[in-house]
Amino acid sequence: DVDEFDLSPDGRWIACVTNEDGVGVLHVINAATGAERRIPRLPAGLISDVRWRKSGAELGFTRTSARAPADAYSLELASGTVTRWTESETAGLNTGDFAEAELVHWPSFDGRAISGFLYKPPARFAGRRPVIINIHGGPEGQSRPGFLGRNNYYVNELGTAIIFPNIRGSTGYGKTFTKLDNGVLRDGAYKDIGALLEWIRTRPDLDADHVLVTGGSYGGHMTLVTATQYDGPICCSVDVVGISNLATFLQHTSGYRQDLRRVEYGDERDSTLRAWMERTAPLNNVDKVTKPLFIVQGMNDPRVPRTEAEQMVAALKRRGVPVWYLMAKDEGHGFRKKGNQDFQFYATILFTERYLLGQGGSATP
């Protein structure tokens, strides 16, 4: 996909940014011939806000990477010199030590290559490392190699690797790929995570016996599906404002969203689609769950109603599965207030230490 472009004031050059497997790649193209001008290749990251100077001799842009939030850069066309003009505030952290994103691929059930970004902990953490799989929401979305912020704590301090997969249904790979999870085709997206779990086992640097899966919104739905369909390969899950049953979600989400979401998930009023939703719903498969879950929800969520979380928590408790439940009375679809964000972050660290890293403690917080 092409993210953005800008034509030089003299009309000679086109600068464009392409989304290549999630990485933002800058190109400069001769407007008359279509030939691409050779420019320095930047490390994996995101590029935006591409603008030419009036002279057409220099190009400005914003670059974000795993080691830096958004900063201003320029490219001098004649010399190919790239200059960084700003150093974003990082509260004194040495971001040069942060892990760079590694683009990885694995084959899924149908032979299709699925990609994602792997962040590995520093070398001082020896041996196979525990893994966090963090699935993006949407599903029309994409994980890209930007700045991880506080997620760097899991990598740098806890020694866990993080994988951000872009399963079928993600954007950035063309319309066909985005539609590969519509309706009952969603089974394919579920299997993409199963294939990732198998791929992790082939890596000598990753510990396939210590895997936590997490995600928010649709990523939370994928988390709950993984907890039910792949209970064996994982050891715990963190679901944030996730959907526990597509049918009940479509019935109770805000009216302005219902028809839009039915295009993506299918119409729950259709008996055939309803049967598939009920058959695959995590809520109706809790008997397959044996590993601890942490479920996070906002009371005032207009998108994924709190009933999706509450019904899942109740079903898990009836089966005696260890489940933590954090519900904020003053939040909606995801936590926005800093105090709540901090509480969620620290609680998730505690859950991760206890159930992923096996650092002990009681079954309830």
- 31-75: pLDDT as tens digits: 999 999 999 988 889 999 999 999 889 999 999 999 999 999 999
Mean pLDDT, range 312-328, rounded to an integer: 97
Average pLDDT, the chain: 94
More confident site: 364 or 56: 56
Range 244-248 average pLDDT: 97
Choosing from 65, 170, 217, 237, the catalytic residue is 217
d(CA 144, CA 362): 36
What is the arithmetic mean of pLDDT over 174-184? 94
Tell me, yes or no, if 333 is annotated catalytic: yes
Q: If you average pLDDT over residues 319-334, what whole number do you get?
A: 97
Model pTM score: 0.94
Active site residue 330: no
**Residue 365 confidence (pLDDT):** 43
pLDDT confidence of residue 312: 98
* Tens of pLDDT, residues 135-158: 999 999 999 999 999 999 999 999
pLDDT at 245: 97
Q: Answer yes or no: 217 catalytic.
A: yes
pLDDT value for 14: 96
Handedness of CA 198, 106, 120, 346 (dihedral sign): negative
pLDDT higher than threshold 60 for residue 10: yes
Give the pLDDT of residue 334. Answer: 95
* pLDDT at residue 362 in the model: 43
- Mean pLDDT value of segment 219-230: 98
pLDDT at 1: 86
Predicted pLDDT at 296:
98
* Mean pLDDT of all residues in 205-212: 97
Res 307: pLDDT: 97
Percent of the chain with pLDDT over 70: 98
Q: What is the pLDDT of residue 360?
A: 58
Q: Taking residues 168-187, report their average pLDDT.
A: 95
Give 90-124 pLDDT, tens digit per residue.
888 888 889 999 999 999 999 999 999 999 999 99
- Please, which pLDDT band fits residue 320 given cuts at 50, 70 and 90? very high
Q: What is the model's pLDDT at position 93?
A: 84
Distance in angstroms (rounded) separating the CA atoms of residues 115 and 103: 7
